Amino acid sequence: MKKPDSLKEILQHIAICPICGNDYRQNKANLFAQQENVNLAHISCAKSQSNFIAMIIFLGQGVSSVGMVSDLTLSDAERICRLKRITVDELIDFHKLINNDSQEFLNFLTALPPNRLSE
Ligand SMILES: [Zn+2]
């Protein structure tokens, strides 16, 4: 299968809104990340106002897609996509934190400002 050249080609693989059944092809959709054969699209349903994020992967002879209903707006999705990746060391440190001392973990959570994700 040929790699798609446009958002329109990618969105042909997404049919309907999982919330209301509206035809997605008539809704506002934005491709917000693309790397090699992997594409991330954000779609807002005009009828139900729900948001949907789809990952469409073009593999050799076929297409695979995974999607989820989301409360993320397009700008949220774009911002989160640009965040620095979590390293293995950070993941191990976090695992130690939640396993070794639950009080320290609770202190960590309560010290975070409520809008931490919006930074
Ligand atoms: Zn809908």
Q: What is the pLDDT, as a whole number, of residue 105?
A: 77
Q: How far is the CA of 68 from the centre of ligand 1 (A)?
A: 13
Ligand 1 midpoint to CA 85 (Å): 31
**Tokens 């073009």 map to which residue?**
58
pTM of the model: 0.65
CA torsion 39-45-46-50 (nearest 10°) is -130
Between the CA of 119 and the centroid of ligand 1 the distance, in Å, is 29
In order along its 119 residues, the chain shows pLDDT tens digits of 555 555 566 666 677 888 898 887 666 778 899 988 898 999 988 889 899 998 988 888 787 888 899 999 999 999 998 999 899 999 998 888 888 767 777 787 788 776 655 55
Position 17 scores a pLDDT of 85
Token pair listed for 84: 């620095």
Task: Give the domain ranges of the chain.
Answer: 7-84
Structural tokens at position 100? 């070794």
